[in-house]
Structure 1
Amino acid sequence: MNYIEPTIKDSEIINSDSIMPQRNPYIIGRPITEPEKFFGRESLFHFLEDNLREGTKVLLLHGQRRIGKSSVLFHIPNFVVEDGFHFVAFDLQDKGQLSLSEILHELATEISDDLDLDVTQVTVPTVAELEADTNILSREFLPAVSQVLDEENLVLLLDEFDVLSNHNPTAADGDFFPYLKSLVSEQDQLYIIPVIGRQLDDLPKLLELFKGAPNHEIGLLNNESTKRLIANPAQGVLRYDDEAIQAIMELSAGHPYFTQVICFAVFGQAREQENWQVTRADVEKVVEPAIEIAEGGLAWFWDGLPIPEQVIFSAVAEAQRIAINQDERVPEQPLKLLKGYGVILTEQLEQALKRLIKNGFLNDSGLKVTVELVRRWLLKRYPLQQEILALESLDSLANDLYKIAVEQSKREEKLDALKNYEQILKYNPNHFSTVFELAEGYLSDQNFAKAVEYYTRAYQVDSILHKERLVQSLLSYGNELWSKQQPANLNRARKQFTRVIQIEPENQIAREKLREIKDFESKKYSKIWFARFIAAIIVGIPLLVAFGYYLGYSHCSKDLKKRDGIGCRSILQNKCTKIVPSRH
C-alpha cells in the first residue's frame, strides 16, 4: 500500500513523547490566514492578476457558504503578485443594518487604519459630515489617499458584499451599490473586488449596475489541492494511506471546510488512540464526531437556503439512503419521491431543484448531494418527513386564512371552516395542517369519499399518526358503497377494502367484506348463468325441430321423398309396400 511519507522517521513519530500535547493543525471556525496552510485557488489568482493588469476595475467573486471565500480574500495580497496595487479588506458582515453614511465612515476608517495614515495627511470624514454630504468621500478623502499611495492603485476587497442586500435590499440597491459604482467611475485609482455568498443571478440589480464585470466562482478544490490540504498540515505526525485520503475526498468532495473538519476529527482520534497511521476504517469512524464538530457551520450552510431548496435537499438525501439500502445504483428522482410523501409538486419546488444543481449543492443529474458528509448530516438533522411540513409556511395569505378556519371550527361553524380549508389549499396545496383538518372534518361529517382523499395524503405525510383514521375512512367508504350493491359501486367498494388489507394485512373486517362481495358476485353470476341456460333450452328445442325439418325437406334426392316431413325414403320402397298382399 502506498503512503504519503512524512518528513521524519516512523520511529520518531511513534516513540516521541512530544506528540500527545501537540495542537491540532487543522483549522475550522475561522478563515485560514497562514499562507503555509492555504492550498489551491491558483486559477483564481491568475484570473485576478490578468484582469488587474488589463485595468479591469470591478471583479466579482462568488461562492456558496463555507467554501472559503474569506480565506481567499485574505490571501489575495499574498498570492496576486501584480505590482502597483494596494489591497484593503473591508468586511460587510455586520454592516447590514447601517445607513449609507455609517458604512462609508467605517470604510474610510478601515482604509486609514490599513495605510496607517497620519491625521495630518488624511482626515476621515465623520458620520455627520457624510450624512450632510456623501460626496466628501470622493471629493476629499479618496484623492488624499491617492496622493499617499502615489502610483499605486487602491483595491477594496469587499467581503460578504451581498449582506447589505439581505438585510436592507432597498438601501443597498438604491444607495450603496450605485454610490460604489459612481466612486469607481470617478476615481481612476480605485478598484473593487466584491465577494458574494450566493449566485450572481440572485442579485439582478447588482449585475445590472456592474454589467460586463468579469466574475469567477470560488468552488470546490481540485483533487491535487485537496490531497495537499489533507496531508500537509499534519506532515511529520500523521501518515495517511491512499485509501484514507480517498475516503476523505469521497466525504468532502474537495470542499475545503468539510475537508478540514474531517481531518480535524481524524487527528483528534489519532492523538487519543496514539495511532498515527490513518486508514479508511479510521476515517469512517470519525464521521459522526466530524458532523458534531461541523454542526455550527452546517447549520449556517442550511439556513442560507430557502424552504423549497431545503425540502429538495432533504429529498435527495433520503432518495440516496433508500437506494443504498436497497442496493440500487440510481436513486429515485427527488420530485417523484416527494409525490410519494403527499407533496403536490409546484413551480417553486421544480425551480428549487434546478437552483441546487446550478449552485453545486447537487450533482449535475440532481440525484446526489455533492458533499457526502452533508448528506449524512441531512439524514440525521433534517429528515424529509420533518422538512416537508415547512412547505406550509410559504404563503402568508394561506396562513392567515388557516387561523380564521381554526377559529370557525372551534365555534362549530363546520361548513364555513371546510370552505376556508379548501380555499387554503388553492393558495398553498402543501399546507399540511389544512390537509389534516379537512380529513378529520370530512370524516366527522360522514363524507367518506372526501375523508379517504385527504387521509390518503395525510397518511403519506405521516403513516404512523394517520394510519388508524385512514383505515376507518376506507372501511366507512367501502361499507357505504357495498350497501348499494350496484356493479360499479361493488368494484369501488372492493378497492377500499383491498387498500385496508394493504395497510393492515390482518384486518378481519376488510377480509370479511371482501368475502361477502365475492360470495355475492358468485351467487349473482350463478343465477344469471342458470337463467341463460333455461332460456336457451326453451328457445332452442323448437329451433332444432324446425331446423331438422328444413334439412330433411330441402336435401332429398330425386328418387327419395320426405317421410312425415322428416328424413328421406325411397319411392320404390313405398310402391312395393303397397302391392304386397297380406298373409292372413
Structure 2
Amino acid sequence: MPPTASPLARPPDPVDGLPPPQRPSRPPNPYILTPLTEGVGFFGRESVLQFVRNTLSSPFQNVVVLFGQRRIGKTSLLYQLMRPGSTPPGFRPVYFDLQGRAEHRLEQVLYGLAREIARALGIDVPPREAFHEESYFQYVFLPRAYAVLGDERLLVLVDEFDVLGGEEVTSEAAYHVLFNYLQDLLIDEQRHLTFAFVVGRRIDELPSRIKATFKSAQCKLISVLDRASAVQLITQPSRGVVTFDDTAVETLLDLTAGHPYFLQLLCYGLFERATRAGRPAITVADIDDDVLTTAMELGMGGLSWFWDEFPPAERFILAAMAHIIDTDPRQTATLRQIGDTLREHGVRLQGMELSTAPEVLAEWEIIERAGRDTYRFRVDFLRRWILTKHSLEQAKRELEQVSERAVVLFESARRMHRRGELNLAIMEYRRALAANPNHARAQLGVAQALYESNRLEPAADAFERAYRLDPESARDGLIAAQRDLGTQLENEGRFDRARPHFQRVLDINAADQGARVHLRDSWRATAGAHLANGRWDKAIEAYREALRYMPDDEYLIQAVATLEQRHVEAEALQRRRQQIERAVLEARLKDEQGRRETLEASFRRALVTVFGAGAGAIAGTALAVAAATGSLGHPLWATAAGIGLAVLYGAYAWAARKAP
C-alpha cells in the first residue's frame, strides 16, 4: 500500500463562510509613462510656470510659446497650467490638442476649438454646420464665451501646434489659412483671448507661416529637470514602499541628465523589480543591463517618436557618435571622427550639415560640447538606446521612409520595372530620388534598370552611387556592371580604358579571378604592341604590370627574364661603344694639343728673330693666354695677330730710318 499523507501535511480547511486567504497584492507602480494629466508625479518647472504667469499678466501680451524636444514634458506642463494654483490669476484655461488635425480644414479646426471651449465653460456646443461660415467663430461664438467669462480672459493651451506644418498637406488643409487667421484673431481679441502654444521644434526651424504667428510672442525653452526636481521625481513617488540609496540616485542622474521621461522609464522598471522581489531598497547594483533593456522596451513607442523628430543629418550624427563612443559615456567624438565614421559606412553628408547638425543637437540638449569640434552625449541612456536600436546601418534604412512621396514613387517604379517597362521605371526611380536622394533601393533600381537596358556606362555610375548608400545590396550588381563594361571596351581594343573597370572589380573583391585574368591579358597585349614597335623598356613595364595580377604565370616570368637579359646585354654593348668613342676623342684631343704646342714654338722663334727677346716674350705670353682660354684657333685671333705684326714691322722700319 502506498504511504498515506500525514494529516499535518494537508492545508487547513477554510473557516466556514470565509473565503480562503489571499496573497497580499503588490502596490501599484507610481511612476507614470504617459503625460501627467492629473498633476500626480509632476515635479519642478516652477520657472516655466512663473514665466507664463508673468508674461500673460500684461494686458498687451497675449501669446506665449513653449518649445522643447519630444517627451520632455510639454503636454504635462500644459495640464499643470490647468490646475488651481498654477493657472495665471484671472484666466480660464482650455486645453486643445492639434495632434491628428494636420489634414483638417479651417472650419474643422475652429469647430474642434469651439467644442473644447464650450465644454470648459459649460455652454452649449454650436452645430458643426455653423462653422462653414468662417466669421462664425470670432463674431458669434466668442462673444457668447466672453459673456460667461465676465472679467476673466480665455487662455487656450494649444498642444502640438507645429504638426500643422507637415510637408504633405492637401490644398484645403487649415495649414494654408489658419496662421493668418490666428494673427488677425490675436490682434482683434487681445483683451479677452490669450494663447499658450507648445511646439516640438526649435523656433528657427518652424515654417515661415508659423513663425509669423509668433512674431509678437514670448518664447521659453523647456529643458531637462534641475537636479533637485529630478531627485524628487526619483524618490518621492515610491516613498513608503521602496527607497533609493544615494549611489542609485546619482547613477540615474548620470544616465538621464534629469530628462523626466527617461527617469520615469527607469524608475518604473526598478520599482517593478524591487516589489516583485519584496525588497524595500534599490541600490546601484540594481541598475544593470536588464533594467536598461526593460526600460527601452517599455518606452519603445515614445522613444521611436522621439527619434522621428530628428532630420536625417542629425540621426546620422547621433548614430555615428554612439558608434564611436560605444561603451564609455565619458568618451568624446570629434567632427573628424564623426566624418570618418560616416564615410566608412557609405554615408555622405554635406560639409555644412556635418558642421551645423552637432550645433543644433547641442542647442537641443541632446549632446554637449566637450572642447573645440568635440562632443559627448548629454543623456547616456539615449546613447545606449541608439547603439542598440539605431545603428548607422539601421539609420540608413530609415532614410527611405523620410519622404512619403519618394516611397510612393518608388513603389510605382517597381511595378513598371516588373512589367519590363524599363525606360518608364528609370524615370520613376529618378523622381523618387529627387524626392529623397538617400533612398538606397530607388538608386539600386535605377542601376539595375540601366544594366538590363544594356546601358553599361551609366549603369556602372548608378551602381557606384547605390554602393555608397548600401554596399551590401549593390555589391554584386556593381561588380557585374564594371566587368561587362571593361569587357566591352577590351573587345573594342581600348585596353587603357578597360583596365580601370577590372581594377574596380578587384577593389571590391580581391579574390575575383576573372578580373585578374582580364588585367593580365590586357597588359600582355600592351607589352606585345610595345615589342612590335621596338620599345623594349615599355614592354618590360607592361609585362611587370601583368605579373602583379598573375605572379605565377610562367610565360610572363620567362618573358620578363628574357627582356631583362636583353636589356642587360644592350646596356653592356652601349657602354662598350661609349668607351671606344671616348678613346677616339681623347686621341684627337692629344693630337690637337701637340699641333698647338708646335705652332706656339714656331711663332715664338719667328718673333725673337724679328724683334728680339722682349717682344718674343710678350708675344709668347699672349699666345699662352690665348691657348689657355682656347681661343688660339679662332679667326679673330689670327686677324689680330696679323694686324699686330704689321704694326710692329712699321714701327721697326720707322725707327731704322731715324737712326743716325
- So what's the TM-score if we normalise by structure 2? 0.66
Structure-1 residue corresponding to 2:507:
499
Contact in 2 for aligned 1:315/1:384 (Cα 8 Å): no
Report matched runs for 1:336-347 at 5 Å. Answer: 336-345=340-349
CA apart distance, 1:90: 2.9
Report matched runs for 1:175-186 at 5 Å. Answer: 175-186=177-188
Amino acid at match of 2:151: E
Structure-2 residue corresponding to 1:57:
62
| 1:360-409 superposed Cα distances (whole Å, 9 cap, x missing partner) | 44545695555433343334434332442454564958974885587468
Q: Distance in 1 between matches of 2:134 and 2:404?
A: 42
Amino acid at match of 1:33: E
Structure-2 residue corresponding to 1:313:
315
Amino acid at match of 1:129: A
Report matched runs for 1:440-479 at 5 Å. Answer: 458-465=466-473, 467=475
Q: Distance in 2 between matches of 1:520 and 1:363?
A: 65
C-alpha spacing 1:401/1:66, structure 2 compared with 1 (3 Å)? closer
Structure-1 residue corresponding to 2:393:
385
- Correspondent of 2:213 among 198, 209, 216: 209
Report matched runs for 1:26-41 at 5 Å. Answer: 26-34=31-39, 37-41=41-45
Q: Distance in 2 between matches of 1:93 and 1:421?
A: 33
Structure-2 residue corresponding to 1:195:
198
Structure-2 residue corresponding to 1:579:
none
Structure-1 residue corresponding to 2:28:
23
Q: Distance in 1 between matches of 2:431 and 2:247?
A: 57
CA apart distance, 1:111: 3.1
Query: For structure 1, which segment, 458-467 or 394-403, has the greater mean C-alpha deviation from structure 2 after superposition?
Result: 394-403
Q: Distance in 2 between matches of 1:455 and 1:489?
A: 18
Amino acid at match of 2:380: E
Amino acid at match of 2:90: G
The answer to whether structure 1 residue 301 and structure 2 residue 334 are counterparts is no
**What SS does the corresponding residue of 1:156 show, helix, strand or coil?**
strand
| 1:76-105 superposed Cα distances (whole Å, 9 cap, x missing partner) | 244547533332323333555554444444
C-alpha spacing 1:401/1:220, structure 2 compared with 1 (3 Å)? closer
C-alpha spacing 1:68/1:559, structure 2 compared with 1 (3 Å)? closer
C-alpha spacing 1:199/1:424, structure 2 compared with 1 (3 Å)? closer
**What SS does the corresponding residue of 1:89 show, helix, strand or coil?**
strand
Contact in 1 for aligned 2:26/2:276 (Cα 8 Å): no
5+ unaligned residues in a row in structure 1: which ranges? 1-16, 118-122, 561-584
Amino acid at match of 2:64: L
C-alpha spacing 1:254/1:533, structure 2 compared with 1 (3 Å)? same
Q: Distance in 1 between matches of 2:56 and 2:436?
A: 49
The answer to whether structure 1 residue 433 and structure 2 residue 441 are counterparts is yes
- So what's the TM-score if we normalise by structure 1? 0.73
The answer to whether structure 1 residue 290 and structure 2 residue 295 are counterparts is yes
C-alpha spacing 1:116/1:464, structure 2 compared with 1 (3 Å)? closer
Amino acid at match of 2:444: F
- Correspondent of 1:86 among 92, 104, 112: 92
Contact in 1 for aligned 2:68/2:199 (Cα 8 Å): yes
Contact in 1 for aligned 2:154/2:192 (Cα 8 Å): yes
Structure-2 residue corresponding to 1:258:
262
The answer to whether structure 1 residue 220 and structure 2 residue 224 are counterparts is yes
- Correspondent of 1:539 among 577, 581, 584: 577
| 1:432-457 superposed Cα distances (whole Å, 9 cap, x missing partner) | 33543465567778888777655555
Q: Distance in 1 between matches of 2:224 and 2:116?
A: 31
The answer to whether structure 1 residue 513 and structure 2 residue 513 are counterparts is no
Q: Distance in 2 between matches of 1:443 and 1:86?
A: 67
C-alpha spacing 1:512/1:434, structure 2 compared with 1 (3 Å)? farther
The answer to whether structure 1 residue 278 and structure 2 residue 309 are counterparts is no
Report matched runs for 1:414-429 at 5 Å. Answer: 429=437
**What SS does the corresponding residue of 2:51 show, helix, strand or coil?**
helix
Q: Distance in 1 between matches of 2:407 and 2:558?
A: 48
C-alpha spacing 1:474/1:99, structure 2 compared with 1 (3 Å)? closer
Q: Distance in 1 between matches of 2:73 and 2:53?
A: 19
Q: Distance in 2 between matches of 1:98 and 1:479?
A: 59
Report matched runs for 1:77-226 at 5 Å. Answer: 77-78=83-84, 80=86, 82-93=88-99, 95-96=101-102, 98-116=104-122, 124-132=125-133, 134-135=135-136, 137-139=137-139, 141-166=141-166, 171-187=173-189, 188-201=191-204, 202-226=206-230
Amino acid at match of 1:114: A
C-alpha spacing 1:428/1:537, structure 2 compared with 1 (3 Å)? farther
Tell me: higher relative CO, structure 1 or 2? Use CA pairs within 8 A at least 6 residues apart. Answer: 1
Amino acid at match of 2:268: F
CA apart distance, 1:478: 7.9
Contact in 2 for aligned 1:90/1:107 (Cα 8 Å): yes
Query: For structure 1, which segment, 541-550 or 466-475, has the greater mean C-alpha deviation from structure 2 after superposition?
Result: 466-475
The answer to whether structure 1 residue 234 and structure 2 residue 270 are counterparts is no
Contact in 2 for aligned 1:402/1:420 (Cα 8 Å): no
Contact in 1 for aligned 2:73/2:261 (Cα 8 Å): yes
Which protein is bigger by CA-based radius of gyration?
2
C-alpha spacing 1:371/1:504, structure 2 compared with 1 (3 Å)? farther
CA apart distance, 1:33: 2.3
| 1:173-197 superposed Cα distances (whole Å, 9 cap, x missing partner) | 4544344443433331322212223
Amino acid at match of 1:290: A
CA apart distance, 1:519: 4.3
Q: Distance in 2 between matches of 1:95 and 1:486?
A: 63
Contact in 2 for aligned 1:124/1:141 (Cα 8 Å): no
Query: For structure 1, which segment, 533-542 or 401-410, has the greater mean C-alpha deviation from structure 2 after superposition?
Result: 401-410
CA apart distance, 1:260: 0.5
Contact in 1 for aligned 2:31/2:237 (Cα 8 Å): yes
| 1:480-535 superposed Cα distances (whole Å, 9 cap, x missing partner) | 99999999679858955763565789x99799834169848954872574265145
Amino acid at match of 1:83: P
Q: Distance in 2 between matches of 1:234 and 1:398?
A: 47
CA apart distance, 1:38: 1.2
The answer to whether structure 1 residue 245 and structure 2 residue 249 are counterparts is yes
CA apart distance, 1:271: 1.6
C-alpha spacing 1:22/1:199, structure 2 compared with 1 (3 Å)? same
Contact in 2 for aligned 1:165/1:172 (Cα 8 Å): no
CA apart distance, 1:48: 1.3
C-alpha spacing 1:482/1:138, structure 2 compared with 1 (3 Å)? closer
Contact in 1 for aligned 2:322/2:384 (Cα 8 Å): no
Structure-2 residue corresponding to 1:549:
587
Amino acid at match of 2:187: S
Q: Distance in 2 between matches of 1:521 and 1:478?
A: 26
Q: Distance in 2 between matches of 1:130 and 1:424?
A: 39
**What SS does the corresponding residue of 1:88 show, helix, strand or coil?**
strand
**What SS does the corresponding residue of 1:515 show, helix, strand or coil?**
coil
Q: Distance in 2 between matches of 1:51 and 1:519?
A: 88
Q: Distance in 1 between matches of 2:396 and 2:438?
A: 8
Q: Distance in 2 between matches of 1:395 and 1:387?
A: 17
C-alpha spacing 1:408/1:180, structure 2 compared with 1 (3 Å)? closer
Contact in 2 for aligned 1:392/1:428 (Cα 8 Å): yes
What fraction of aligned residue pairs are identical, expressed as a percent? 26
| 1:557-582 superposed Cα distances (whole Å, 9 cap, x missing partner) | 9999xxxxxxxxxxxxxxxxxxxxxx
Contact in 2 for aligned 1:317/1:369 (Cα 8 Å): no
Structural RMSD (CA): 4.7
